[in-house]
Amino acid sequence: MGWAGFKNGELLTQASGHFDVFVTVDQNLVFQQNIGGFPIRVVVLQARANRLANLLPLVPNLLAALDSARPDAVTIVSE
C-alpha cells in the first residue's frame, strides 16, 4: 500500500488498521487532529531539524517511549 497522498486524518485511519504506532515529525498534527479518535499510538519526534542526523539521536528515547505511549494521547519525544 502506498501512503503518499493521504491527508493526516486519512493517514491515521489507514495506519490504525496496519500499525500499532504512528511516528511523525509533524508537530502541527496535535492541533490538526483529534488524536483520541484514533486507536493508534501517536509519537511526535521533536528535533532541531528534521534531518536524519538530528533524528537518529532520538531513537533511544523513542524506543523507551513506546511502552508508555497511549492511543488517546500524543507522546512527544525529544532530546
The partner residues of 24 in beta bridges, in order of sequence, read 44
Q: Residues 24-62: pLDDT tens digits?
A: 998 888 788 778 888 899 999 999 999 999 999 999 999
Residue 3: predicted pLDDT: 53
Name 15's Cβ contacts closer than 8 Å, sequence gap at least 6: 3, 22, 40
Among 20, 58, 52, CA closest to 39: 20
Residue 2: predicted pLDDT: 59
Name 3's Cβ contacts closer than 8 Å, sequence gap at least 6: 11, 14, 15
End-to-end Cα separation, the chain, in angstroms: 32
